Amino acid sequence: MPATQPFIQDFLNGDAALLGRLYKTVFPKVARYVVQKGGTKEAAEDIFQNALIVLYVQLKKEALHIQSFDNYLFIVCRNLWRREATKKNRVTNNNEVTLVSERTHLARFYIEQSQWDLFQEKLKMLSQNCQEILALVFKKIAYKEIMEQLGYASETVARQRVFKCKSKLTQLIKNDARYVTLRKK
Amino acid sequence: MEPNSHLEETIERYLGNKMSPEEKTLFEVEMASSPALQELVSIHQQMDSFYSEEEWVQGHPDKNLLLEKTALFEEDDTKAFAEKLKNFREAERKKSPRISTSLYYWLAGIASVVLVLWALLPKETVGMQDLYLQYYQAEDIGTLHVKGDDDDPLLQIEKDFRAQNYQATMAKASPILDTLSRPNVTLLLYLGNAQLQLNQFEEAEATFNTIIHSNTLDFHKGYWYQSLLFLKKEDKVRCMDVLEVISEHPSYFKHEAAKALLKDLKD
């Protein structure tokens, strides 16, 4: 989605009508997701607000290749919630000290979200068959069932296929310049 | 380090906590002396996190990279944007009318009466529609986008659907489907969901049945959308029947969500 698009410019300008629409259409979905996962509506509001800030920083720096802003916003919220859910102590206060740490926290997530984008992009570059078998593997489906569902002759054959697909995916990720930039230490 | 299937399995067992303490220690010693192995394990760990709904793996980014990105959040325009959001949120909250204590008790009394009356009424309608809103996620359908081709007619169909232009979605999807020699599940899903959004239940059911009976790997996605269709139609029995099918197959699309929805319907 090019940053020159008027919609993006409105977002970067903090256009009240646009923010209102996002709160009306996307926020209810985020709230449902967070509540479904054991969070509160207030936590969903924090997630939504922080996701908008992360998107703001992303959009002012790079052209995001996304099909739907609303869907991408939901995905960012979902990932941010998943991250929050793994953290034991959530930062909720509003004093200056926590604001600084909150920014670092958002910066960390910004890097992770960029990695997530890269990983998704590379997965889509694999063959349809590889995407299907890996989808089952990442769902932790047993190899026996993968073998049966996808019609492989044996579990060993299915494992070999997974190995080849994962190796290809690993190479695609490693060969991308963004991976080196975003790599963990 | 060149990956091989044995190493792949070893990493899988390490990340899945399936190693004995001794084996784990040995593997970690090996990792400590091999940056290439560390990198491979790290990528696998991120794959597990990014391609699933499981625990989010937090990274340990390079210090300079983190400082650089943190600075973006400390720039004046970012702070101003965050402030705008905060003010917007507060303004939205203020729009909710505040009520006095006495009025609060009056309203509470009325609410109690309404609740009693509501309890006496059949509750199915409200419950199933609420569940439909809770479980229906248009973004689950997937993308039709072909990389690098913005003129792709399939992309236009997806754009129409995302813009809630369901008539256009159907008008464009049907002729393309007619020309295909093999079913395109994602395209069928866009068609079926457009029909579902417009409450064209019979047509949507036929489309989802086409998916279910297609000889494709994604055939099971049809079950999930069929269950949502019955949910929206408030046909509890058929909805539960379909959810039972998904619940019996862990590899089927939306298996966990189907189990949760089934439980909600039983409750």
pLDDT at A98: 47
pLDDT at B6: 84
The Cα–Cα gap between A88 and B97 comes to 35
Q: Do B69 and A107 touch (CB under 8 A)?
A: yes
Catalogue the E-assigned strands of B19-143: none
What letters, b where the CB count within 10 A reaches 16 and e where it falls short, cover A96-118?
A: eeeeeebbbbbbbbbbbbbbbbb
Q: Is B53 on the interface with A (CB under 8 A)?
A: yes
In chain B, residues with a C-beta closer than 8 Å to the C-beta of A167 are 3, 8
Residue A165's CB is within 10 A of a number of other CB atoms, namely: 20
pLDDT at B124: 41
Tokens 């703001």 sit on residue? A56
In chain A, residues with a C-beta closer than 8 Å to the C-beta of B63 are 185
- What's the full length of chain B, in residues? 267
pLDDT at B103: 67
Q: Which of B40, B48, B31 is nearest to A174 (CA)?
A: B40
B251: buried, middle or exposed (CB in 10 Å: 19+, 13-18, 0-12)? Answer: middle
CB B155 within 8 A of CB B149: yes
Q: Is A148 on the interface with B (CB under 8 A)?
A: no
Q: Residue B146: CA atoms inside 13 Å, Cβ hemisphere, count?
A: 9
Residue B252's CB is within 10 A of a number of other CB atoms, namely: 19
pLDDT at B54: 73
φ, ψ of residue A92 to 5 degrees: the values are: -125, -10
CA distance A90 to chain B (A): 14
Best mutation site among B46, B254, B263 for testing chain A: the one with the most A CBs within 10 Å? B46
pLDDT at A90: 43
Q: Do B51 and A135 touch (CB under 8 A)?
A: yes
Query: Pick from B5, B89, B218: which is nearest to A159 by CB?
Result: B5
Q: Is A104 on the interface with B (CB under 8 A)?
A: yes
Residue ranges of chain A with pLDDT lower than 70?
1-6, 88-100, 184-185
At B235, list the tokens.
């046909």
- Taking CB atoms within 8 Å and a gap of at least 24, the contacts of B148-153 are none
DSSP H helices in chain A: 6-12, 16-25, 27-36, 41-61, 69-86, 96-123, 128-138, 143-150, 155-174, 177-182
Rounded to two decimals, the pTM is: 0.61
CA distance B50 to chain A (A): 6
CB proximity under 8 Å: B 109-128 to A: none
Q: Which of A110, A97, A161 is nearest to A135 (CA)?
A: A161
The Cα–Cα gap between B39 and A164 comes to 18
pLDDT by residue (tens digit) across B184-241? 899 999 999 999 988 888 889 999 999 998 888 889 999 999 999 999 888 888 999 9
The Cα–Cα gap between B220 and B249 comes to 10
CB proximity under 8 Å: B 209-238 to A: 217-218
Residue B66's CB is within 10 A of a number of other CB atoms, namely: 18
Q: Do A111 and B51 touch (CB under 8 A)?
A: no
In chain A, residues with a C-beta closer than 8 Å to the C-beta of B143 are 67
The Cα–Cα gap between A123 and A166 comes to 10
Q: What share of chain B is helix, strand, coil (3-state, %, to 5)?
A: 70, 0, 30
pLDDT at B102: 67
At A27, list the tokens.
């926020």
CA distance B204 to chain A (A): 23
pLDDT by residue (tens digit) across B47-86? 998 998 777 887 778 888 889 999 999 999 999 999 999 8
The Cα–Cα gap between A6 and B75 comes to 23
Q: Is B133 on the interface with A (CB under 8 A)?
A: yes
* Rg, Å, chain A Cα set: 19
Q: Is B76 on the interface with A (CB under 8 A)?
A: no
pLDDT at B123: 42
pLDDT at A94: 44
In chain A, residues with a C-beta closer than 8 Å to the C-beta of B43 are 170, 173-174
In chain B, residues with a C-beta closer than 8 Å to the C-beta of A107 are 66, 69-70, 72-73
At B103, list the tokens.
């009025």
pLDDT at B101: 63
pLDDT by residue (tens digit) across B2-37? 667 788 889 989 998 899 999 999 999 999 999 999
Q: Is B59 on the interface with A (CB under 8 A)?
A: yes
The Cα–Cα gap between B215 and B80 comes to 54
| Torsion sign over Cα A13, A1, A84, B40 | negative
- What's the full length of chain A, in residues? 185
Tokens 């067992």 sit on residue? B13
Q: Is B175 on the interface with A (CB under 8 A)?
A: no
What is residue B219's DSSP assignment? T
Residue A55's CB is within 10 A of a number of other CB atoms, namely: 24
Treating both helix axes as pointing N-terminal to C-terminal, what angle do B35-50 and B5-15 enclose, rounded to 10 degrees? 60
| CA angle at B232 for the pair B227 and B233, rounded to the nearest 5° | 95
CA distances from B100 to A124, B95, B97, B103 (A): 56, 16, 10, 5
Predicted confidence band of residue B150 (pLDDT cuts 50, 70, 90) = low
In chain A, residues with a C-beta closer than 8 Å to the C-beta of B221 are none
CB B135 within 8 A of CB B257: yes
Asked if residue B149 has pLDDT above 70, the reply is no
pLDDT by residue (tens digit) across B92-136? 777 765 555 666 677 777 877 776 775 665 444 446 777 787 788
pLDDT by residue (tens digit) across B239-262? 999 999 999 888 889 998 999 898
